[in-house]
Each structure stands twice: as structure tokens, then as C-alpha cells.
A and B are shown apart, each in its own frame.
Chain A
Amino acid sequence: MLAFTLRRAIQAIGVMFAVGIIAFSMFRFAGDPVNQIVSIDTSAAERALVRKSLGLDDPVPVQFVRYFADAAQFKFGVSYQFRQPVSALLMERMPATLELAICATVFAMVFGILMGVYSALKRDTVLAKLFQAVSLIGISLPTFLIGILLIYLFAVTLGWLPSFGRGEVVKLGWWTTGLLTLSGLKALIMPSITLGLFQMTLIMRLVRAEMLEVLRTDYIRFARARGLTTRAIHFGHALKNTLIPVITVAGLQFGSVIAFSIITETVFQWPGMGLLFVQAVQNVDIPIMAAYLLMVSLIFVTINLVVDILYTVVDPRLRSTVGRAA
């Protein structure tokens, strides 16, 4: 078990190293950063000075090692547009993005599993068919459109929910949260649904398909032959067996939720990392873009690692074979 975790951790570090190379090479290939900082009439001497102060005149390997050493300590340089350390900017924005992503994922998991189980067990009911139809919409409609439709309905027409921003936030140390105020919670609803809808329909369809698959297995038939109650069979025996693929997908999707919150954050002007990234792209603010890339891949890699470990918690077969193989 320990060896397994360790092996996965080493693989994770390898991935991060590769991403680091890509992030670093963005500085080299996405134009000359000095041009982004100085104005057109800056003299060559001044340009050289800026170049030197940013360490851009050092040999490439030296710059790479320095970038990596800094990144490992969460120092990503200074933003070209804000003239502030990137890490401070990210830290400031991260709570907003994480809160949104977590709410969206919880929304997706809860409703996805409930609707999936329901539509597997009561396959032929009207409600189950409605869920299927809704899930088709959720899968095929682009996020920004859902966001705009929601805004139109609930913010513009009905006026129930705010159309943008986080509402009132409360500071808890460096973390800012919108979960403790009414306006903060209200502001969370629409972005969470927008961001989570795709994952919800994905989870719902997955749970439904897996559940139908599991209900056909011999051990479910045998469980019925043992006279267990329907509740025990469905929720004890069948649901647990559907959880492995659900954990995988939900886990991997959590990474995508954070990465793709860019669109939702833009639609709802949500002050998170995604919005920061979009602004950075518009202004060719490479330190932010590179740092964002690193952050997102770190999140992905971490989630993958956690999901791998979670498997072994759910499935005893993996526990022992993994232990033996390692």
C-alpha cells in the first residue's frame, strides 16, 4: 500500500516536471515579455536594464532551474499587468474558485447520483425519462449558454438571484468565503449550477448505466435469491459496486471543473482564478498564465493520486493485490 502510494507519487512528480517545462517554455516562445512591460519609446539601454532585472539575460538552463526552484516554493514571479507577485494574486482569487468548484461538484454528485439511481431503478417511469431528456440538454448545451439562460431567467426576468459577483464575503484569515452570508450563498447558486450541470448529467448517466449493469450481475441475482430486502440490494449491494467508476469520473471531473471554471467565471464575473487567467491571456501576462497552468496541473495530479488511493478504500480486491504486487 505504501509502496503503491509512493510509486504513484513519483509518477505525479514526473508529470509536474513535464508541465513545468511547458510552462517555462511559454516565456521563451510567447513573444518577448520585455515588450509587454515597456512602452514603445523606451530606449534600448532601459530595455536591457528591465531584461536584467527580470533575469531574462541569463542562459536558458539557469533561468529554467531558477523558475523551477521558485515555482516549487509557489513563487511565480511578478505579473506584468498588475506589478504584483503572481502567487499573491492567485492566493487572493483561489478561495472564490475553490468554493465555486466544490459547490458545483457537490451539486453534481448529489443530484447526479440520486437521478442516476432513480432512473436505473424506475427505468420506465415518466420522471426517469424526463431525467434522460434533461441530461441530454445538460450534455449538449455549452456552459456559457446555460449561464446566460439562467441569468436571463432568474436575474433579469424574475430578479431572484444576482447576475454577477460573489455577493458579500467574510474574511477568515487569508481565505474569503461567500458561504456565510445570504447574498454570498445566493450568488453561488447560479454559477454552481452552470458549472456543475455538465458533470451532473455525466454522473447521472454513468450511475444509471453502471447500476443497470450491476443489477444484472450474478451476485445481485443471488442476493435476491437470499431474500434480502430490495432496499438492501439496491443501496447496499448495487450502489456500492457502481461507486468505483463514479469516484473516478467525479474525481477527474473536479479537476476539469476548476480548469473550465474560466467560462463560468467570465459569464458571472466571478472573481476567481479563471477570470484572472482570461485577463492574463488578453494582456499576454505570461507569469500568470504559466502559474495557472502549473496550479491546474497540480490540482489534476493531486486528484488523480487521491482517486487512486480511494479505489483501494472501496474495493478490497485492489487493496490486497496492490499490497502483494508492490
Chain B
Amino acid sequence: MTEPVLSVRDLHVEFASRRGTLRAIDGVSFDIAKGEVLGVVGESGAGKSVTGLSVIGLIDPPGRIAGGEIHLAGLRIDNLPPEEMRRIRGKRIGMIFQDPLTSLNPLYKVGDQIVETIRTHLNLSEAAARRRAIDLLAEVGIPAPEKRIDGYPHEFSGGMRQRVVIALAICAEPELIIADEPTTALDVSVQAQIISLIKRLGRDHGTAVMLVTHDMGVIAETSDRVAVMYAGRVAEIGPVQDVVKNPLHPYAKGLMGAIPTLAADDKRLVQIPGSMPRLSAIPRGCSFNPRCAFAFDRCRVERPEPLPRGAQSVACHLYDNVPAESAA
């Protein structure tokens, strides 16, 4: 097997606060292969975005990477000096943020922002960078790019702005794109377009994509594999069909049960009782145990480590010492 584009091993991220150190990410590991889309799903505060930000090296103080390693195509990047990490950002890792309305600087023409980014990373003349910017805008599906390039962000609609943001993220042909809730702020109809755009770009350029979202529909639509995060840990990770059709972790089961289907039976959607613990009050043992219908004594004392289960991997004591057949 070839080396993964992104390899995260046992990542820990902490935030120093007045009430002590909060552990936002607690031992997260995953790989993303070339051309693969990894969906990262979970409730708000599960640590999805923080994981994305630590990969690109934009965790702001008081947060810091407290442990673990991040490798980009074999190069360890979590401990690089700031200037070297800056060169990687935008060039080898592109990032797309949630809100296209606020991601662009309102005072500069979109073309100038693209040209600026291109010329920061690639050794191109102003004119060549501008030509490339027009090509990029065309590639992300902006009509009449040679005219729109001189427009200001406020002259674009939300969907069009997200296309500009995507053009900015891919302008130096990165190996990895981190998309942090790229469709959350958009209309449903525009969401589908943006999703298929990200998918197409990933396929055409062989880019690895880390797609952070809380929308299981988007994940099912786009991803090759999915990681379900809960309270700073990966509860379950595996190929998207397996996890959606046959979730193993009780939390993942709950999440999948909460997806509305078109085959409308008038049953109520399944709810997971309770809410995710605050970072300052993560329970002992499995962090999901207070909400879990299957919790037993061991869950309240011992933290489950990820266990391979076919192509999936699940962090749950239910699957420990149980043969694969009877568990599934």
C-alpha cells in the first residue's frame, strides 16, 4: 500500500483555561489516502473542526497540540517552525471554511485575493497568475470568470463565494483539502452543487479530502470513508457504506437512526438521550457511557481503545472478546 497523504497518530489537543486544561482532542488517529474523501462527522464540540485546524497548524493559543504526530506524505508537520508551516498552508494543504460570506476579505477584489495566494506559493508573474486565477474560477464553475475576477466579494452570492473560496483553496494544487463544514451556511440546492464540485476536484486532481460536517447526508453522498467523532475521540471509523448500513458503535447507531429517510414511515426519528458532555466534565471510562443504552460496568471505569472489526474500527467494549459474527 502506498503512503497515505495524511496520517494522524494519537493526536492530543489541549486548551488551557482558567478552570484547568481542557482536552479537546484525546488520542485521535486516522489516515487519508491519495484521492480519498474522509468524512468526519459528529455533534458540535466533538472536536471535528479542531482536528482539521491542528492538521493545518492553525490552532490558536491557548490551544496547543499536546501529543501525537501528524504526517503529510511522510513529512512530520505538527512540529514544524511557523514559517515552514506557513509555506505548507495553502500550497500543500488547502482549507475551506464554513461561512463563505465572511471568508473573503471584503475590501479586495476576488481576483486580487487569488493572485496574491498564487504568487505567495508559486513563482508566477502577475499576468500568469491572473490567467491561472481565471482558469481556476472557470474550473470551480463561475460563469464569465474573466469578468467576475474583478468583482468584489459582496457582488457574489453565497454559493458563488464558496466557489471562490474553493478556488483559493486549490490554487496551488494542494495534496490535501480540509473542508470544514463547507455547505452548512448554504442553501440546500447550492449544497449539492458545492458537494459535487469538491468531489469532482478531488477526483480530477487526486487530492485527498478531509470533509468535516455534521450532516450525515453529505458524508454518505461524498465520502469514501467516515470517522464518527464523539467528545474528542474517534468512536468509529470505516468505509462509508459499512458505517452507514451497519454502524457498530452505539453512538454511530444513534446517529444513523437520526437520519430522516424518504421511505416515509410515520415513526419518530430516533433520538440519542442526553447531550454531549462538556470538555470540563468528560466522564470516566467511555465518554459515551451516560447516554449509552448498552453501557455496563466496564464502560464506567475503563476507556475503550479502537478495535478492528472487518474494514471498520470501533472503540467500544461491546466488541471486546466477542467474535466478529455474534457482534454484528
Asked if A229 is an interface residue, CB under 8 A from chain B, the answer is: yes
Asked whether, in the complex, the Cβ of B107 is within 8 Å of the Cβ of A314, the reply is: yes
In the bound complex, residues from chain B placing their C-beta under 8 Å from that of A314 are 107
List which B159-192 residues lie within 8 A (CB) of chain A. 165, 168-169, 172
B97–A316 CB distance below 8 A:
no
Q: Which residues of A contact B106 (CB under 8 A)?
A: 219, 241, 315-317
Q: Count B-side interface residues using an 8 Å CB cutoff.
A: 31
Contact, CB under 8 Å: B103 / A219? yes
Q: Is the CB of B107 within 8 A of A316?
A: yes
**Quick one: given A219-B102, A225-B97, A316-B154, are A241 and B120 in contact (CB under 8 Å)?**
no
Is B117 part of the binding interface, using a Cβ–Cβ cutoff of 8 Å?
Answer: yes
CB of A82 within 8 Å of the partner chain: no
Listed stretches B16-24, B68-76, B85-93; interface member:
B85-93
B120 touches A225 (CB 8 A): no
B105 pairs with A225, CB closer than 8 A: no
Q: Mark B7-18, 1 if CB is under 8 A from A, else 0.
A: 000000000000
Task: Tell me, rounded to whole Å, the shortest Cβ–Cβ distance linking A224 to chain B.
Answer: 6
How many residues on chain A are close to B (CB under 8 Å)? 23
Asked if A228 contacts B90 (CB within 8 A), the reply is yes
Those of B97-140 within 8 Å (CB) of chain A: 97, 99, 102-109, 116-117, 120-121
* A320 x B155 contact (CB < 8 A): yes
B88 CB → nearest A CB, Å: 7
Query: Taking the nearest CB of chain A, how far is it from the CB of B276, in angstroms?
Result: 24
Contact of A227 among B97, B99, B120, B165 (CB under 8 A): B120
Main secondary structure on A side of the interface with B: helix
Given contacts A225-B95, A316-B152, contact A232 B103 (CB under 8 A): no
> Which residues 206-233 of A have a CB within 8 angstroms of B?
217-219, 221-230, 232
Q: How far is the CB of B231 from chain A (nearest CB, A)?
A: 25
B156 to chain A, nearest CB (A): 12
Contacts of B155 in A (CB 8 A): 320
B108: chain A residues at CB < 8 Å are 237
Measured between beta carbons, the chain B residues less than 8 angstroms from A228 are 86, 90, 116-117, 120
Q: Can you list 16 pairs linking A and B with CB atoms under 8 Å apart?
A: A218-B99, A218-B102, A219-B102, A219-B105, A222-B165, A226-B89, A226-B120, A227-B91, A229-B120, A232-B116, A236-B116, A240-B107, A241-B105, A316-B152, A320-B154, A320-B155
A217-B102, A222-B168, A226-B168 given; 18 more Cβ-contact pairs under 8 Å: A219-B105, A219-B106, A221-B97, A222-B103, A223-B105, A224-B58, A224-B86, A225-B58, A225-B94, A227-B89, A227-B90, A228-B117, A229-B86, A316-B106, A316-B152, A316-B154, A320-B152, A320-B155
Question: Which residues does A use to contact B, with CB under 8 Å?
Answer: 217-219, 221-230, 232, 236-237, 240-241, 314-317, 320
